[in-house]
């Protein structure tokens, strides 16, 4: 509910370790969000949201094709800006199909995915110069590239970049027109303190940049997030 995911938005990638089948992960993160409206300096705010993340994926046999689902959303938000307005909430949903290419001994994999991404932002009535319900119908194709390092018996990591043009109409979607888009950079690393667990948790660090132009409202949203991800299956 990112990607919202993701919102906003983390992109969850699952480590295959050569096995096919389903994977499931839950996460809890703390973000720092900054919102600005190009038309009005008064419509700017900063907040700290606590976010929940749910990710699922299926690795097809023989282990190269992968299907991913990712949902995230704001659980609780604290305003940092001196304003009487209530906090905004972000949500996202993404799903993609991609191909993993092992490199060398198979410890490194490169993946390219294509899918669809939904972005939601809800606000109090008429707050921040936005429509009453915020943005509830923005979506677009999502391109995702990731790299993973999964050494046997050692700590692994992954990095990814995703790009999704966003619009409320299919006619205005374009990868070449990036004035309305969600760009996200992310990095995950296994945690050494949980080495005895059968499934090792990981820390995720992410930066996101969203630009939107809807209903005569031009806004930019940037955020940084740190989250703890725990694989359940």
Q: Strands (DSSP E) along 60-107, which ranges?
A: 65-79, 89-103
Question: For residue 184, what pLDDT is reported?
Answer: 94
pLDDT, position 106: 66
pLDDT of 158-201, one tens digit each?
999 999 988 776 655 666 666 678 999 999 998 887 666 667 89
Cα-based distances in Å from 75 to 157, 187, 201, 229: 27, 22, 21, 16
Q: Which residues contact 78 (CB under 8 A, 6 or more apart)?
A: 47, 48, 49, 87
Give the DSSP H or E segment for 208: strand 202-214
| Per-residue confidence (pLDDT) for residue 9, from 0 to 100 | 42
| Rg (the chain; Cα; Å) | 18
CATH homologous superfamily, domain 21-231? OMPT-like (2.40.128.90)
Closest CA to 145 of 184, 180, 105: 184
Is the CB of residue 164 less than 8 Å from the CB of residue 117? yes
pLDDT band at 95; cut points 50, 70, 90: very high
pLDDT digits 0-9 by tens, 5-21:
334 444 454 444 446 78
Contact 56, 3 (CB under 8 A): no
The answer on pLDDT for 228 being more than 80 is: yes
Residue 190, CB-side half-sphere exposure with 13 Å CA sphere: 21
Q: What are phi and psi of 154, to 5 degrees?
A: -130, 170
> For 124, phi and psi rounded to 5 degrees?
-60, 165
pLDDT at res. 88: 80
């Amino acid at each position: 509910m990112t990607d919202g995911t993701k919102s906003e938005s983390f992109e969850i990638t699952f480590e295959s370790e050569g096995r096919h089948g389903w994977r499931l992960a839950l996460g809890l993160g703390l973000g720092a969000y900054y919102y600005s409206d190009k038309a009005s300096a008064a419509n700017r705010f900063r907040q700290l949201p606590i976010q929940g993340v749910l990710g699922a994926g299926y690795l097809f046999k023989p282990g190269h094709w992968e299907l991913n689902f990712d949902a995230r959303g704001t659980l609780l938000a604290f305003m940092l800006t001196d304003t009487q307005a209530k906090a905004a909430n972000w949500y996202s949903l993404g799903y993609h199909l991609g191909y993993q290419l092992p490199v060398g001994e198979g410890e490194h994999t490169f993946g390219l995915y294509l899918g669809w991404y939904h972005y939601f932002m809800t606000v109090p009535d008429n707050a921040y110069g936005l429509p009453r319900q915020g943005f509830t119908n923005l979506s677009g194709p999502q391109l995702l590239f990731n790299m993973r390092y999964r050494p046997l018996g050692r700590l692994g990591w992954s990095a990814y970049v995703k790009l999704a043009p966003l619009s409320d109409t299919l006619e205005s979607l374009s990868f070449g027109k990036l004035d309305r888009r969600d760009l996200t950079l992310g990095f995950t690393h296994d945690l050494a303190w949980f080495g005895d667990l059968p499934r090792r948790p990981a820390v995720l660090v992410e930066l996101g940049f969203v630009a939107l132009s809807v209903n005569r409202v031009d806004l930019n949203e940037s955020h940084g997030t740190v989250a703890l991800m725990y694989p359940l299956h």
